[in-house]
Structure 1
Amino acid sequence: MTSSAPPVLVIGEALTDILCGPDGSRSARPGGSPANVALGLARLGHPVRLATRVGQDGNGAALRRHLLDSGVELTHGSVVPGASPTATAVLDEHGSATYTFDLHWDIPPSTLALVRDGAPGHLHTGSIATALEPGARHVEAAVRAARDATTISYDPNLRPSLLGDAAEERPRVEAFVASSDVVKASEEDLAWLYPERKPEEVAARWASSGPSLVVLTRGADSTGAFWRVGRCEVPVPKVRVVDTVGAGDAFMAGLISGLLSAGMLGSLPAGAEPSPRTRLRAATGAQALDAAVAAALARASLAAALTCGRPGADPPTLAELTDRQTAVPPVG
């Protein structure tokens, strides 16, 4: 599917997931949270550029093929000499994963120019890219530069093994939250970041700090959506779980996709009203969410469920979503 819209810009890590099953099996698959979101958006028909850092080794070649085959364009400077980063995911008997990482993170020097010289169709970032130096400070600068030109989404997708104390990490996370229009976080993220508070309380507070929409995922349980004046529960489709790798990223891609389709995310041309940001604010300005926002949440939940039904981070295409739920709106 083609689109005349400016490409979405995703900033963040692409890496190789080494999956270790409970039976001792090992397999390697392309991954990385922001890269998975970029892949999911491309499969849903959106033009996407990924600013990342991959090596010129075999893993890097596989990553590039994986992304390019689905329509993700890597920005200039994303391929560097040396080895590509890896994440070893140990799966338990329920398909849930715990991770250890081997990577260096920074962003291509041209990324800031991409943001300043031409507004992306939307900017998404999160996970290791927003937490690990030296790249994290450059991602923060890109978000600040993009704020007046386009909408922003953020998924903290925290990796405690790479981080310091939760109290040290909170200010950085909260700064990204306040700069964003849409935020997704898992129950595990918020339990680690705020161990003495209920995740629902944190999500509601975040929704009053800047974002129009904050979404709290709880695995197989219902998903909570929070906005300035209300909240609701979103049912999670039932599926036979193979593993949960990439499910949260598929949810994020589905949510961005649905809101882009509804004209509630995107670049902010001067003088054009109502802007996508204004539309999203209006759609989340009442006790009940606008139907288009509810449809975007349904698209996100279905994308995550389908990803859980197959191994690794393998988000669905728009055709697969449409086959399962004909009410999902088409990409505009």
Structure 2
Amino acid sequence: MSFLVIGECVADIVRAPAGSGAADRVHPGGSPANVAHGLGRLGRDVTLLTQLADDPAGRLIAAHLRAAGVRVEVGGVPPRTPSAVVGLDARGAATYTFDIAWTLEPGSPVEPTPAHVHIGSIGAVTEPGATTVLAETERLRGRATVSYDPNVRPALMGEHAVAVAGAERCVALADLVKASDEDLAWLYPDEDPEAVAARWLDLGPALVLVTRGAGGSSAVTRRHTVRSTAPEAVVVDTVGAGDSFMSAVLDALAGRDAAALGALPADALAALLATAGAAAAVTVSRAGSQPPDRAELDAARAAFAL
């Protein structure tokens, strides 16, 4: 089964704590790129349609992706590879300051036609490139299943009502949606995340997942709402944890159509959340977005008795 991920690559510049004497660290990042990388690490056939400049950050990211087996298709070359300065608090939680232009251009159709398309984050809502992302998703929808992760970045979302409408358009294209409680709190202040997930089902998805970091996760379908606790992990930083969760979900659900996603029994949903939580736990235990490979994920599942 082949996957197509469409979206941005970002060089994550992780600031060293003030007074530590340590140097800043540069990690390949960008939510869609992280998802593609995670799928590649799990042995999946995956292509990333993105933008990269021919600069040190672009070459670093391209090499990182290709080392995991990800095919990189470039839709136009930006003047510089996007970057994000990442600040970490005492708990390892990340905040971001971005320098990003997203001008993805239409290109030749990716061959062979993928079985699944994943979109999200900055690339799905930032123009002019978002128009290309959505047009390609709409073209493939019906021949491929679709997933979406809003991965909200408030500084880049623009006017709130417009941002909500853009996110809901992506939700309506998707069979599977994953969102964090922080995403939903920004999009719909003071609303219960699971209530939002249930409402999103009416827009079209068969399955909506809500992540809460150390608070665990939920899976919502028209038949079930299932909750899972997060495995305990020593947190180095949280960069890429949600993307690792997403990669593990897509891997576990590979080959299922929308009807099958909506019909998953409660025990299968619980197993899905547990596996994805184990993948995220591996990622937070090391610096930067470093998702597990197949052997590491299997070992984490065994360690957490999943």
Which TM class, normalised by the smaller chain length? over 0.9
What TM-score, normalized to structure 1? 0.86
Task: Tell me if 1:128 matches 2:122.
Answer: yes
Match of 1:195 among 189, 198, 208: 189
Counterpart in the other structure of 1:186:
180
Q: Tell me: CA distance 1:210–1:83, structure 2 relative to 1, closer, same or farther (3 Å).
A: same
Deviations 1:246-304 (A, max 9, x none): 000000000000001xx31xxxxxxxxxxx23322332xxxx4252x433322211110
What TM-score, normalized to structure 2? 0.93
Q: 1:33-48 residue pairs with structure 2 within 5 A?
A: 33-48=31-46
Cα-Cα RMSD = 1.8
SS of the residue aligned with 1:325? helix
Deviations 1:204-261 (A, max 9, x none): 211232111101111101211111132010121100100000000000000000001x
- Verify the 8 A CA contact 1:207 1:228 in the aligned structure 2: yes
Counterpart in the other structure of 2:84:
87
Question: Which of 22-31 and 58-67 deviates more?
Answer: 22-31
Matched to 2:17, the amino acid is P
Match of 1:324 among 276, 294, 300: 300
Matched to 1:304, the amino acid is A
Counterpart in the other structure of 1:242:
236
Counterpart in the other structure of 1:101:
98
What's the offset of the Cα at 1:79? 6.5
Question: Structure 2: where are the runs of 5+ without partners?
Answer: none
What's the offset of the Cα at 1:141? 1.0
- Verify the 8 A CA contact 1:12 1:128 in the aligned structure 2: yes
Matched to 1:21, the amino acid is A
What's the offset of the Cα at 1:107? 2.2
Q: 1:8-87 residue pairs with structure 2 within 5 A?
A: 8-23=3-18, 25=22, 26-75=24-73, 77-78=74-75, 80=77, 82-87=79-84
Question: Structure 1: where are the runs of 5+ without partners?
Answer: 265-275
SS of the residue aligned with 1:202? helix
* CA distance in structure 2 between the aligned counterparts of 1:222 and 1:186, rounded to whole angstroms: 10
What's the offset of the Cα at 1:325? 2.0
Deviations 1:147-182 (A, max 9, x none): 111100000001110122322211111111111111
Q: 1:151-230 residue pairs with structure 2 within 5 A?
A: 151-230=145-224
Structure 1 runs (4+) greater than 6 angstroms displaced: none
Counterpart in the other structure of 1:289:
266
Counterpart in the other structure of 1:273:
none
